[in-house]
Amino acid sequence: MVEQLDAFLTANATRLSRNAAFEPYFGPRNTPGRPSNAALASADEAPNGRSGVRRTVRRTTTVKQEEADPDYTSPNSASSPIDSARRIVSTAPAPALSPSTQLTTTRRTPGRPRTHPLQLPASPADVADLAEYETTHLYAGLNDLYTLSRIPEAIDHLRESCSSLAGVQMFFITLESWALQRELVSWVHLTDIRYWSGRTWPIYYPDLFDLLKGEFWSLTLLWLAIAFVIPSLFAYFFNLTIRNVKRHGVKVSVARYTVDPLVFNVVKGILTYVVLGTTFGSDVVGAHATRVRDALVGGYAGPVTGSAVVVLAALYEAAQRN
């Protein structure tokens, strides 16, 4: 430690020599108007008696000081830098510290919490901007979720299918078949679901054992013959959408529809009225015609109305095409 201290003092001699605490190590400072140590030494060597007396007095004082203090070391005596450093460490007074430095070295106080400037409440304009920002981000997130769910593509595909003549025809056929199966297949009560208001919603399931009965198939086949099979045969052979076109100099017949929707619905409407709406059908097929008529939505008038709507749609499409 002493060697490191000596090296530190030697390296910082220029700065530390100005401090009075290190005067025994570096020697007294030269002040303006005061003779230096070299000048005092040359004055002692002058050939007058006064200087010799002064030297004697100084030596006597030095001897007395050595006898009074055995640890005293004469400044004129040769000493190593390490001995000088030890003497400075033992005799040098502690440097004066500021009150804040003394408080830091003696006792560590807990840190005080940082004081933040007073924050004023947000203005109505800031609140409105924040609400608009959050609303915009919410709508953007919902739009992205709606797009990733592929719901728009499904809706567009369904719209394209329903906006065609085949889509309109399929809608009425599906409605008739659903109404007929609700009548032919019995539904068994399964359980009840209670609402928060105390009301109940009954849950039913179809009894598939009715599919094994002959009555189910006889009524279903009668409806299929009237609504699908016989009209399809007439519309296939009496197809008014067939056109003769030339391909590579040869005339060929091209049909826009394999089954003409106009002829199909005209035949279907006539058969429905004859079989289900008159006594002739009851005499031919018996009680099955009455059972099918009662099962359909609106009786026999429901399929007839649906056929009329599809006929109008077919005429509208043909008018747009031409």
- For range 23-46, the mean pLDDT: 53
In a domain, 254, yes or no: yes
Q: Which of 28-32, 171-175, 197-201, 208-212 has the highest mean pLDDT?
A: 171-175
48 and 135 within one domain: no
260 and 142 within one domain: no
Closest Cα partner for 30 from 12, 17, 48? 17
In a domain, 107, yes or no: no
Mean pLDDT of the chain: 77
- For range 298-317, the mean pLDDT: 93
275 vs 221: CA distance, rounded Å? 14
What's the confidence (pLDDT) of residue 227? 92
Structural domains in the chain (count):
3
310 and 208 within one domain: yes
Q: What is the pLDDT of residues 237-280, one digit of tens each?
A: 999 888 888 888 788 888 889 999 999 999 999 999 999 888 77
275 and 142 within one domain: no
What's the confidence (pLDDT) of residue 313? 94
Q: What is the pLDDT of residues 156-186, one digit of tens each?
A: 999 998 999 999 999 999 999 999 988 889 8
> Do 295 and 311 contact (CB within 8 A), yes or no?
no
286 and 176 within one domain: yes
Cα 162 off chain centre by: 37
In a domain, 114, yes or no: no
pTM, rounded to two decimals: 0.54
Q: What is the pLDDT of residues 61-101, one digit of tens each?
A: 444 444 444 444 444 444 455 555 555 545 545 554 444 44
- For range 282-294, the mean pLDDT: 80
210 and 154 within one domain: no
- Cβ neighbours for 3, distance < 8 A, ≥ 6 positions apart: 82
Among 134, 161, 188, the domain boundary falls at 161
What's the confidence (pLDDT) of residue 58? 46
What's the confidence (pLDDT) of residue 315? 94
What's the confidence (pLDDT) of residue 178? 93
Closest Cα partner for 318 from 269, 238, 257, 265? 257
DSSP 110-138: PPPPPPPPPPPPPPHHHHHHHHHHHHHHH
Residue 132: give the domain boundaries: 126-161
Task: Kindly tell me if the per-residue pLDDT of 191 is higher than 70.
Answer: yes
273 and 255 within one domain: yes
Among 75, 93, 111, the domain boundary falls at 93
- 245 forms beta bridges with 252
148 and 178 within one domain: no
87 and 33 within one domain: yes
Give the three-state DSSP class for 205: strand
What's the confidence (pLDDT) of residue 93? 52
Closest Cα partner for 292 from 234, 226, 211, 209? 226
Q: Which residue has the tokens 């309109």?
A: 168
Where does the pLDDT of residue 45 fall: very low under 50, low under 70, confident under 90, or very high at 90 and above?
very low
152 and 172 within one domain: no
Among 69, 93, 117, the domain boundary falls at 93
In a domain, 117, yes or no: no
131 and 202 within one domain: no
In a domain, 98, yes or no: no
In a domain, 234, yes or no: yes
222 and 202 within one domain: yes
Q: How much of the chain, in percent, has pLDDT values that exceed 70?
A: 69
In a domain, 240, yes or no: yes
